[in-house]
Amino acid sequence: MGLARQAVAVYRKRGENFDTDTHGETRMGDRTPESETTLARWFEREFPYKPPIDLFPAIVERLRGAPARLEELCAPLTEAQLTRRDGRDWSIQEHVGHLGDLEPLWAGRFDDFAEGAAVLRPADLTNAATHEAGHNDAAIADLLSRFRRMREAFVARADAMTNEDGARTSRHPRLDQPMRLIDHCFFVAEHDDHHLAIMKRLASASD
């Protein structure tokens, strides 16, 4: 059984009606009108693409821009729109909180690369930190500020890295494939965009 399926099994063992995956999202393709494009679930994504090392600065710029994009998306929304949940799916505000919840993992994996770890530290595939945090009870300004602060620290570390650093290689535990530090940064940028895409759809649905 794959690690993502193990995470689902944990929730089912708790007796929960598990209609969503542990990333706070439905099978969006099943519920998207034919006129719209579908969005693959995160745990179904594969990462065969290996960016050339000279794209490292461009990938870092994607990471740098995520807080501003998140703030822009949330700015016109009311508290009701930000905290609205559709069944077991996360609200926009919970997606914001989730991005902040994962920043320590991303930064910790920088440490893993620097220390020559054979395998990167694993994520909690149940996303318990997000499910249990009560992000809907927090102020959106605080969640956005937290994400910006941690992301700026992450990007500052990336800015100081060389091409040699970007080529450092470890193994991703869930994907079970080699991952260079530049691939890790690309993975994080894709994770940002995945959640921003979901939040954009949630915002449009609440208009």
CATH number at residue 100: 1.20.120.450
Q: Is residue 62 part of a domain?
A: yes
Q: Is residue 20 part of a domain?
A: no
- 188 CB-near residues (< 8 Å, 6+ apart): 63, 106
**For residue 120, is pLDDT > 90?**
yes
Q: Is residue 8 part of a domain?
A: no
Q: Is residue 61 part of a domain?
A: yes
Banded model confidence at residue 45, pLDDT cuts 50, 70, 90 = confident
pLDDT at 36: 60
Q: Is residue 143 part of a domain?
A: yes
| Domain range for 128 | 53-205
pLDDT at 26: 57
pLDDT at 40: 78
Q: What average pLDDT score do residues 3-31 get?
A: 46
In 3D space, the residue among 134, 136, 127, 133 whose CA is nearest the CA of residue 18 turns out to be: 127
Distance CA 19, CA 152 (A): 35
Q: What average pLDDT score do residues 75-79 get?
A: 97
Partners of residue 177 on adjacent β-strands: 172
**For residue 100, is pLDDT > 90?**
yes
Q: What average pLDDT score do residues 19-24 get?
A: 54
Q: Is residue 30 part of a domain?
A: no
Q: What is the pLDDT of residues 122-156, one digit of tens each?
A: 999 999 999 999 999 999 999 999 999 999 999 99
Q: If you average pLDDT over each of 83-87, 143-147, 200-204, which comes out highest?
A: 143-147
